[in-house]
Amino acid sequence: MMKIAILGAMPEEITPLLEILKVYEKHDYANNSYYTANYKNHELILAYSKIGKVNSTLSACVMIEKFKAEALLFTGVAGAFNPSLKIGDLLCATKLCQYDLDITAFGHPLGFVPGNEIFIKTDERLNSLALEVAKELGIKLHTGIIATGDEFICDEAKKEKIRSIFKADACEMEGASVALVCEALKVPCFILRAMSDEAGEKAEFDFDEFVVNSAKISANFVLKMCEKL
């Protein structure tokens, strides 16, 4: 039996999970709600992190430090940077960076601050498990680099700049901060994103339409992973 944290950025990203689980307890703490439930001999801790790096950092810390999570699975949506990624595709992050972490004025590369690496790696075992689950479900799972920042990207020039510097395949607003917390606290981390838009000029129009369906796909996927852990 493991204690597994499942984190999504928005209510839409954990609602499908709660609907499947049906029976759960709600815990209000640190201006957020956390849900605990039993599933396939595991204890799950679920929450939506709220949007952005600070909120997701706080939520991940609470799940690990207060609720004693032994692994963390992040499920949600992202904007596609890689032209081979289309809306609805699933991407598993092998590593993540913070594209808006900027002390380049001091001669450092974008995304770097002393004491941190530019890229934070996710857990190889969980990533391998995800590839097995994808094969069983008949789903193509892409792997690649995710860039995280406190901005919803819907600008082609910003998209191209971030992609060129970090070789990023997708962008979102929580993954790198969650991965950084997990690395520091030595908890295995998995980041799954379903592409909800293409992070270009019409991203804000695509997002609302696809977020609910993408979240359902991701939610089903991480529960299948829990069954195998």
**pLDDT > 70? residue 214:** yes
Average pLDDT over residues 77-85: 91
As a whole number of Å, the CA-based R_g of the chain is: 16
**pLDDT > 70? residue 35:** yes
Assess whether 156 carries a catalytic annotation.
Answer: no
Asked if residue 220 lies in contact with residue 136, where contact means CB atoms within 8 angstroms, the answer is no
The reported pLDDT for the residue numbered 76 is 86
Domain enclosing residue 174, as ranges: 3-228
107 band by pLDDT with thresholds 50, 70 and 90: very high
The residue from 12, 197, 198, 206 that is catalytic is 197
**pLDDT > 70? residue 199:** no
Describe the crossing of helices 53-65 and 175-185 by its angle, rounded to 10 degrees.
30
Q: For the chain, how many structural domains are there in total?
A: 1
* pTM for this prediction: 0.93
218 band by pLDDT with thresholds 50, 70 and 90: confident
Assess whether 208 carries a catalytic annotation.
Answer: no
The residue from 13, 169, 174, 206 that is catalytic is 13
CA angle 93–133–88, rounded 5-degree value = 60
What phi and psi values does residue 169 have, to the nearest 5 degrees?
Answer: -95, -25
Residue 201 class from Cβ within 10 Å (0-12 exposed, 13-18 middle, 19+ buried)?
exposed
Give the domain CATH number at 153.
3.40.50.1580
User: Quick one: tokens of 188?
Assistant: 């295995």
